[in-house]
Amino acid sequence: MSDIKLPDYLPSWMSDHVNAYLNDGEAAHLWDASLGGGEGMLTTLLLTTTGRKSGKTLIIPLIYRPSGDGGFCVIASKGGAPAHPAWFLNLQANQDITVKVANDEFKAIAKVAAGEERARLWNLMEAYFAPYASYKAATDREIPVVVFYPA
């Protein structure tokens, strides 16, 4: 695990979640959304990318929902910030990614949803985690909707 780095910007509660997930994916893949402004327990996955600037292996937790076609849908919101999150820029630069869902870890292919598929998946995710609506309102950029498929 020494070659994997948690991004420096992660708050401690998120780093704690990642460490718990790495120790027991089945138990930790449910996340207490009240820590991030939501309600209830939400499903999360771990995304492992290579830093486009650092070259380091980075890991980040993301809320997900099944996409309905064998994939796992996530939102590249960065809380409604003006720029895309680093993990999204990293996977655009290097598609060599790994996803862990509970105790199932696999190489993945990332697809950015567009058109009607994007609208459907956005609605799915917003219904699951209501703060996405305020993130959308807070930015002028189109927030990417990404689906990870097993490679």
Q: What is the pLDDT of residue 86?
A: 94
Give 108's strand partners. 97, 150
Average pLDDT, the chain: 92
What domains are there in the chain, each with its CATH number?
4-150 (2.30.110.10)
Q: Which helix (H) or strand (E) holds 131?
A: helix 131-137
pTM: 0.91
Give 32's strand partners. 41
78-93 residue pLDDT tens = 989 999 999 999 999 9
Q: Look at residue 1 and tell me whether its pLDDT is greater than 60.
A: no
Helix (H, G, I), strand (E, B) or coil at 61: strand
**What count of other Cβ atoms lies within 10 Å of the Cβ of residue 130?**
12
Task: Confirm if 60 and 8 have CB atoms less than 8 A apart.
Answer: no
Q: Which residue has the tokens 């099944």?
A: 66
Q: Look at residue 106 and tell me whether its pLDDT is greater than 50.
A: yes
